[in-house]
Amino acid sequence: MRFNRYLTHAVFLAVAVAISGYATIDRHITNTLSHGLGTLNAQAVVLDGGGYVGDIAFGRYSTIIKPVAIPTSAPASHTPLHYTVQSGETLSSIATKFHVTVSQIRWSNAGLFQSAAILPGMQIVIPPTAGVVVTVKGSDTLQGLANAYKVDPAAILDYNRLRSSTLVAGTTLVIPDGVGPAFPPPPVVWQAPTGSGGAMPTVVKSCCLGPYAGTGFPVGWCTYYVATWRNVT
C-alpha cells in the first residue's frame, strides 16, 4: 500500500515537471515565431498585392518601393520671362537680378542688339537660364541653331523637351549656354569744337550728333534708338 502511494506521488511529480517544461518550450516557440512573423508577413503582403511592413513599402512580387522625395523648392522654370523695365533700372541691374548676363539679354531681344539703351515701361525677354531666347523662323533647323549659338543640338532638344528635331516656325526656344554674334560698335561720338580759327581742338561731349537737354538723349539718338526697335523689311 505504501509503495502504491509513493508511485502515485511520483507520477504526479512527473506530470508536473512535464507540464512545466511544455510551458517553457511553448513560450520559446511563440517568441521565436513572433520574431519571424515580420518576414512571413512581408512575404504575405508582397504576394497579396503590396503594402507596408514597418517603414518599408512593398509592391507585388518582392518589389520594394522607394519613398518619393518631396522637393523643398519650386522646380526651375524653362519658360522665358517677359519683364517690364522699371524706372532707374539698367540692363546690368536686370541681368544681376535674374542671374544672367547683359549679353544674354541683348541676344534674346532683337531691339537690344544694336543698342543696350532701355527705358521704363519697355517689355523685354529674360532667358530662364544662362543662354539665349530665340523665335524659330521658317528657314531655321535644329542643327543650324546649334551651329549659330555654339551648342550641341541635343542640349536644345533636352532643355525645351522637344520630341522631334523638326522645328515649327514661331516657336520660342531657349538655347542653354548659347553664345550669339558680336554686337556692333556704338555710334560715332560727337565732338564739339573748342577753339576758333586755325587748328580746331575738340573734346568728346557725348554719343552721336550732339546734346539734347530736353530728354537727356543726344541729338539723333532717339531716331536711331527707335529705328533699332522697328522691323524694317
Q: What is the pLDDT of residue 232?
A: 44
Q: Which of 14-18, 30-34, 134-138 has the lowest mean pLDDT?
A: 30-34
Q: Is there a single domain that holds both residue 97 and residue 150? A: yes
Q: Give tens-digit pLDDT for 147-189.
A: 999 999 999 999 999 999 999 999 999 999 999 999 998 776 6
What is the total count of domains within the chain? Answer: 3
**Cβ neighbours of residue 185 closer than 8 Å, sequence gap 6 or more:** none
Q: What is the pLDDT of residue 186?
A: 77
* Residue 227: pLDDT over 60: no
* Residue 14: pLDDT over 90: no
CA pseudo-torsion sign 33, 37, 39, 44 = positive
Q: Is there a single domain that holds both residue 90 and residue 171? A: yes
Q: Is there a single domain that holds both residue 55 and residue 8? A: yes
Q: Is there a single domain that holds both residue 123 and residue 36? A: no
Nearest alpha carbon to residue 110 among 86, 87, 132, 81: 132
Q: How far is CA 84 from CA 119, 125, 156, in A?
A: 10, 9, 27
Q: Give tens-digit pLDDT for 52-95.
A: 555 565 555 555 556 666 666 667 788 999 999 999 999 999 99
Backbone angles phi, psi at 41, to 5 degrees: -65, -40
Q: How many angstroms from the chain centroid is the CA of residue 233?
A: 37
Examine residue 233 and state whether it is found in any structural domain, yes or no.
no
- Range(s) of the domain holding residue 33: 2-65
Examine residue 43 and state whether it is found in any structural domain, yes or no.
yes
Q: Is 112 exposed, middle or buried (CB count within 10 Å of its CB: 0-12, 13-18, 19+)?
A: buried
Contact 160, 173 (CB under 8 A): yes
Task: Quote the CA–CA distance of 103 and 94 in Å, as a whole number.
Answer: 12
SS3 at position 65: strand
The better pLDDT of the pair 115, 192 is held by 115
Q: What is the pLDDT of residue 185?
A: 87
